[in-house]
Amino acid sequence: MGSPCLKYMGTLPFAAMPTIICEQIEQWLQDHRRSMQTQQRPQVTLCYAQSWDGALALSPDESLALSNAQSMRLTHRLRSMHDGILVGIGTVLADDPQLTVRECSGQSPQPIVLDSQLRMPRASRLSQSQGQRCWVITSAEQAQSVREDIDLIPVAIGEHGSLDLVLALQALWQRGIRSVMVEGGARVISGFVRAGLADAIVLTVAPSLVGGYKAIGNLGIHSRAQLPRIAPLHTQRLEDDLIMWGNLHYPGEAR
């Protein structure tokens, strides 16, 4: 049987598209979640927007709006489909995001930040939020700091000098998080892929060329045989943005 998306491609009524694509992605995420139930860690979905040439932004320290209005609405729906939403401290410092569901109905996920040096500004919107308190995953040493604005979760530093992502996911699982949407930025996206911990991807490709700061950096890959692959592949257009989604598979994994 072919992709269920194929029957919708082409000339969908403008207003119908977001609902259809949301339902398709929700069903796909649920199916995938069921297949992961034995793993005892949250399902990790990468969700971000890039230009045709693979850039997230013009530079790491500034924000660039790439998605159109419908893709942005889809992003908010995707947030509501996950227990947690995770970004790196680089994204907090560059974008000052809220990470809430605002463009559609639905519950906001638990905000989570990876921040080994505890650079999280007290004045950030996540720290000041009247909603759910932000969880900041940090080193054991920094986790002893007194911070009334956020909850600190200690995790050991891994072999690359960053927070150990396996332990970070374990800590989230112990706190009841069963699914995490990883929204960025590049270093965090690359870290999850390099560790083989990104299970699925929903990518918005905006029709622009940016140069700039690429979404995925060095993965430590040296041959075609080592490439993570995406399958099955689903695609849909939201106006002039292309939405692509699929499961990530790593060489050597049981399929």
Residues 209, 230: contact at Cβ < 8 Å? no
Q: How far apart are CA 136 and CA 132, in angstroms?
A: 12
Please identify, using beta-carbon distances, which residue of 24 and 75 lies nearer to ligand NAP: 75
76 binds ligand NAP (CB under 6 A): no
Options 17, 25, 44, 57; binder of ligand NAP; rule CB under 6 A: 57
Binding mask 135-174 for ligand NAP (x = CB under 6 A): ---------------------------xx-x---------
Measure the CA–CA gap between 137 and 212, rounded to whole angstroms: 28
Least separation, in Å, of the C-beta of 243 and ligand NAP?
13
Q: Label residue 46 exposed, middle or buried (CB < 10 Å: 0-12, 13-18, 19+).
A: buried
Query: Which residues lie below 8 Å from residue 218, measured CB to CB, with a gap of 6+?
Result: 190
Name which position in 25, 72, 114, 182 contacts ligand NAP (CB under 6 A).
114
- In the complex with ligand NAP, the residue whose CB is nearer, 150 or 188, is 188
Binding of ligand NAP at residue 49 (CB under 6 A)? yes
Nearer to ligand NAP, 22 or 206 (CB): 206
Sites of contact with ligand NAP (CB under 6 A):
48-49, 56-57, 60, 62-63, 66, 87-91, 94-95, 114-117, 119, 162-163, 165, 183-188, 191, 213
